[in-house]
Structure 1
């Protein structure tokens, strides 16, 4: 029995859908006995046909790599040798899409694949993966260890990172590579070898640009730990374990609290209090980042509302948003809705944008969103300024209100003349661009005093206060207000 048509192959489910028509035609043509025979023969025929389709269906890229590595491992078991797997990830693939569209990304990827295939040894195979990365399954080789794998990875990286000539000029790409050789695994198999190389590639991607990392059991445990945190994050939000803590910001002119920064903490039931660095890598790039942003925004606005009711009004609270969230076309509407919910003016909210986001040759969607947010009346801070290589043009293109000077420039500014020169230059640039300034990571009174003397408008850091939950913040603000009032009374003559 043939089930092939000119436009494709009929699936078993399509056959099942045609059963009533087929049964009726059989009954009219040959009678009730033929119908009974059809009922007996058709189910196993459909099942067998489904199995044939399954066997002949094209393999996914991951399955192809796995199959190739399994074949190589079997050959090595009989003849000796060694093999390994590498996974290549392009560091700026998203940047290519943002700037010029997917067509150019495909052109760059195709050129890189052609070059890499030309650089492989006979027996090595390269496979484009579903996520845009590339996997290399090494053919059997007499000897293979971590040092040789590093040399192979470095050679492939050198080939991949050569400029690609396109119609509108050369384009530079960079890539990170993770690898694993079979001897590292207790139970080597094609799937296990590919998974190990992908774990190493994820670690390499965390240390951009152009990092190379080898697999280790520690990396596997770290990935399992991240997977566990990711799996439990949504439930942690529902249970109230994800909390906004707040760090005060002071005006260097008046000494009064000029704002707060909301910083996330996870009160984990088993691991205790987790700082952002412990769990943010586990949720980056997923929809959980949007859930985190919504949670932090709601808690920050709720904190301002509570402080207002306590008579401890703070002008503004700053909330960090990732590039992923800043690309959401509904972000401005969501901010407006949340502010209305707590009856807060837009000026009470400051949105923090990492300099690395602004420095990435500019994302038009992000720029448009920031413009909408600024037009609402919210403040916009450029966070970690000095670390992301943002150009003056990029800074001017985004609707910014304030530069946050990164702590790497602030540390030791009172004793390091070079640090002082850098901070002075940043302050001068901000003044000329009409932007306010805030120094973060200020830890000593001497740093605080010099920053005020140099003209930095606001400071934030341990010299002021550590991040704290809102209950502790109420007590801290009350004590700070009392200290300010006492300081004002000093030297006032009684009448």
Structure 2
């Protein structure tokens, strides 16, 4: 279609050429009429082509094609008239020859211009060639017959050429269109999550860039939410990936139903979703939307005849004021999400000045902790453990301490989570084990035996065991007998992702000769399977049961049951947080063997602990008091990681 106006322009030039050449021989009147009609017909044909230009060539309807055929005949008619008129008597031979050449040129031009629409092309060619044939028959000269024959052969060839070129063009266009559609599908796949049908991470980041650019121009605000699903891995693992995918799709639909038309919802991957909130900008409205989304996802769902209970926590950040880079906004929303999850399931946290200060503090702790490790500032304090029946010293628990040279003491509750999150935990654990080894070797050199020293491992230590086992092997071969060290683990180490290998790791630790103690027993995560399957030698009662032991019947029942289980399985029981004589008597009455707490003392440095034990030994020699019996150590055979 785009070439029809070009052909009309060429036709106009041809008209001017013929009129200029024929004017001296024919005169102006007839030529002016013919030239004007030719130009008018060409203009009408160009207008028809222009009106059809908005349609693709391969979807032109029959009605439109009929219009195009009519326009082709209309455009060809003046040239057909020229062929007939120049065949009359008195026309100069050179003028006749020029007319024939121009007519054949128009036929050839139609082949180039109208080959996509064979019917219109054939109509144009037939109109002109038929006039040429009739004109040659009228003249009756041999040369005319020869010209007619050549014209017919050329016309047939051009018609066949138009058909072939048209088919080739249509096939090429079809292939090009199929390729474009395939590219569009690939592009959509590159930007669309196939499970939920939502935009994926790449599409979300592009939309976030656009939202930032728009906000900078308009001076408006928007928020970014990040959320992930509670217990999704458990649902995916226990019910299957098909149910997991169905849950993701359901979550996408539920979220989309509660968002505004300008909000952008995307699945970033796994069970993570992100939202650009553009219709609500003040903190109250943003918070209300977040809680609305949380409530919507908390509703139970039936998937494949199974009921599941999805849930989520959400972190949010508002633009501007919290960075201008998409990655920074998403990172801060993720930080807010982590803070929300720390508060428990179903919470929303908006990144604000307090959270920024908290993160800046964590950044400071990370940097300073790394330097503290390099400067060997990590120290240990030892809280003694006593036998309840005799009051004899029975060992101690090592508590990690960090004294900053400028800021003073930094509590473990602050720096250990940072170490776990920022990848410094293996270095901290290694430093603690090295310090324990050094202290024990120092006591041995002084002829002092301080019994078993317990150290509590972080749950993440057991989820990344390579460094831990290397540190424990180094401690075991350093001259410190592994039987002198008790490794305490909390039941949190058996929960969540990446805990499948924890029993094997504990077997490997026990095979090295270390004892295993189950700390914070009874806090709600306990399972008898842990005691039955793991190489545990000791149970430590959580301080919450010790506090309620005197006045709470349920707490007394838990303590009694724990002691009975430990007795049957050959384990000792240690009570934490003993602060009153009444608690000590109640624990002793229930059969608890050992305890630690402020009833006896707080924590001491290594030298002070040695002095304390020395005094205790002298008193024992004078009074005949002896340390309580040491329960046997249970070690399972064949730890799979022992040789690593």
TM-score, reference length from structure 2: 0.59
Greater mean alpha carbon deviation, residues 194-203 or residues 439-448: 194-203
| 1:226 counterpart (362, 375, 381) | 362
Q: What are the Cα deviations for residues 161-181 of structure 1, in whole angstroms up to 9, with x where unaligned?
A: 456777896655543212244
Q: What are the Cα deviations for residues 50-80 of structure 1, in whole angstroms up to 9, with x where unaligned?
A: xxxxxxx998578446414414534753xx6
Other structure's SS at 1:364 match: coil
The alpha carbon displacement at 1:238 in A equals: 1.3
Partner of residue 215, structure 2: 73
Counterpart-to-counterpart distance in 1, 2:532 and 2:608 = 38
Counterpart-to-counterpart distance in 2, 1:284 and 1:62 = 30
| 1:149 counterpart (263, 283, 286) | 286
Other structure's SS at 2:501 match: helix
TM-aligned CA distance change 1:340 to 1:382, over 3 Å: closer
Q: Does 1:253 align with 2:389?
A: yes
Checking the alignment, whether the CA contact within 8 Å between 1:70 and 1:189 is kept in structure 2 is yes
| 2:450 counterpart (303, 309, 314) | 314
**Superposition pairs for residues 453-492 of structure 1, below 5 Å?**
453-488=589-624
Partner of residue 637, structure 2: none
Q: For the pair shown, which has the larger CA radius of gyration, 1 or 2?
A: 2
Partner of residue 370, structure 1: 506
Q: Does 1:116 align with 2:258?
A: no
Checking the alignment, whether the CA contact within 8 Å between 2:322 and 2:329 is kept in structure 1 is no
Q: Does 1:126 align with 2:265?
A: yes
C-alpha RMSD over aligned residues = 3.5
The alpha carbon displacement at 1:329 in A equals: 4.4
Q: Which has the higher strand share?
A: 1
Aligned length: 427
Counterpart-to-counterpart distance in 2, 1:451 and 1:372 = 33
The alpha carbon displacement at 1:202 in A equals: 2.3
Counterpart-to-counterpart distance in 1, 2:523 and 2:421 = 21
Give the unaligned 5+ runs of structure 1: 1-56, 490-495
The alpha carbon displacement at 1:338 in A equals: 2.0
Partner of residue 482, structure 2: 346
Counterpart-to-counterpart distance in 2, 1:308 and 1:471 = 12
Q: What are the Cα deviations for residues 366-388 of structure 1, in whole angstroms up to 9, with x where unaligned?
A: 11111222233321111111224
Q: Which has the higher helix share?
A: 2
Partner of residue 526, structure 2: 390
Partner of residue 351, structure 2: 215
Other structure's SS at 1:253 match: coil
TM-aligned CA distance change 1:120 to 1:336, over 3 Å: same
Other structure's SS at 2:226 match: strand
**Superposition pairs for residues 181-200 of structure 1, below 5 Å?**
181-182=318-319, 186=321, 189=324, 191=326, 194-200=330-336
Checking the alignment, whether the CA contact within 8 Å between 2:473 and 2:512 is kept in structure 1 is no
| 1:86 counterpart (210, 225, 228) | 225
Checking the alignment, whether the CA contact within 8 Å between 2:450 and 2:613 is kept in structure 1 is no
The alpha carbon displacement at 1:104 in A equals: 8.3
Greater mean alpha carbon deviation, residues 224-233 or residues 371-380: 371-380
Checking the alignment, whether the CA contact within 8 Å between 2:487 and 2:517 is kept in structure 1 is yes
Give the unaligned 5+ runs of structure 2: 1-189, 192-200, 626-644
Greater mean alpha carbon deviation, residues 126-135 or residues 402-411: 126-135
Q: What are the Cα deviations for residues 206-235 of structure 1, in whole angstroms up to 9, with x where unaligned?
A: 223333223331111011000111122222
The alpha carbon displacement at 1:355 in A equals: 1.5
Checking the alignment, whether the CA contact within 8 Å between 2:315 and 2:334 is kept in structure 1 is yes
